[in-house]
Chains A and B, each alone.
Chain A
Amino acid sequence: MFDFFSKLFGREKSSNIAKERLQLVLIHDRNDISPETLEHIRVDMIKTLKKYLEIDEKGIEMELERKNRSVALVANIPLKTMNRPLRGQKKK
């Protein structure tokens, strides 16, 4: 929301950008999880998930998120949906 408004009403202040970037980088630093490690986890996770599910690899989002005082690894893994024709229609 903030991003939206700052884009709408002009440039975001660089001090805010600095603060946001710092907060993100420090989540990685403090938990000793580098972006490289996260990438390795992603590759391994995809390998495992593919045994069971058809997943959309390109759509995977995975990041560390801070919630109050704790940090969570949050992943959003979309499944591949079959491009099925519309059901319940008269056959042509």
Chain B
Amino acid sequence: MDCRVIVVTSGKGGVGKTTTTANLAVALASAGHKVVAIDGDVGLRNLDVIMGLENRIVYTLVDVIEGNCRLNQAMIKDKRNENLFMIPTAQSRTKDAVTSEQMTALCNELRKEFDYVLVDSPAGIEAGFRNSAAGADEALVVVTPEVSAVRDADRIIGLLESMEKAPIRLIINRIRPDMVKRGEMLDIQDVLDILAVELVGVIPDDESIVISANKGEPLTFSGDSLAAKAFANIANRIRGIETPFLELKAEPVGFFRRLFGGK
């Protein structure tokens, strides 16, 4: 298959870009694709700790670009899945250590070897974001159902459009069905009405995500939590496999639903 380079971005920080990148990389690799996840956040790297690979870093993306090592020396092979690789970035450098041209060249080099290249973008709309998106064909925009996150997502979608990334698809993270039901949280349709962009997945707010980050084990490695299923479904949709959306319900399940067989 032709390699697809996908940037994972959001505008606002702290909405779950890195968690999404890590989980989708694992899910795509588990489906048999050769995947590399790149940390695009020079100076504030975190993909390494979320994936639990922080102790295996010898060289970084910046070392590759500056010619201190070969590309495959900076690629960390994940022992949990032979299809999965991660390229960390430098922690003690700033965003200007990598240019858009260098990032594009690097992505194009990786296209020869991989099915999917996922780039975890930094928050913000400045150089760091632009560089990490430079080499990408398509984009995943992560948003939470909050005014600030949706506003920033709108901005980022406009920028991605002007950079001619397509498709641009939306992941709504940290939905709390109980709050949506009470009318105290924007629901999926509200966010889609406002952003007018294709939805590729919804992730429920789930404490298993915090636990998996504590351990450095992306959920999609084990896969029994609701959030893990949601990520696996997104990976399937990215692969072009039509997958129904999970029904996220407020607990406890109502009497009628139980009676009439909603799962």
Write the residues of chain A forming the contact surface with B, with a CB cutoff of 8 angstroms. Answer: 13-16, 18-19, 21-23, 25-26, 29-30
Contact = CB atoms under 8 A, between A and B. Distances in A.
A14 to B, nearest CB: 5
Interface of B: 146-147, 150-151, 154-155, 158, 180, 182-187, 190, 193-194
Contacts of A18: 146-147, 186, 190
A23 B154 CA distance: 11
B247 to A, nearest CB: 19
Contacts of A23: 194
Contacts of A19: 186, 190, 193-194
Nearest to A17: B147
Contacts of A30: 154, 158
Nearest to A12: B183
A2 B50 CA distance: 45
6 contacts: A14-B183, A18-B146, A18-B186, A19-B190, A19-B193, A29-B151
B158 A22 contact: no
Top 6 nearest A-B pairs (CB, nearest first) are A13-B183, A14-B184, A15-B183, A19-B190, A18-B147, A15-B186
Nearest to B158: A30
B158 A15 contact: no
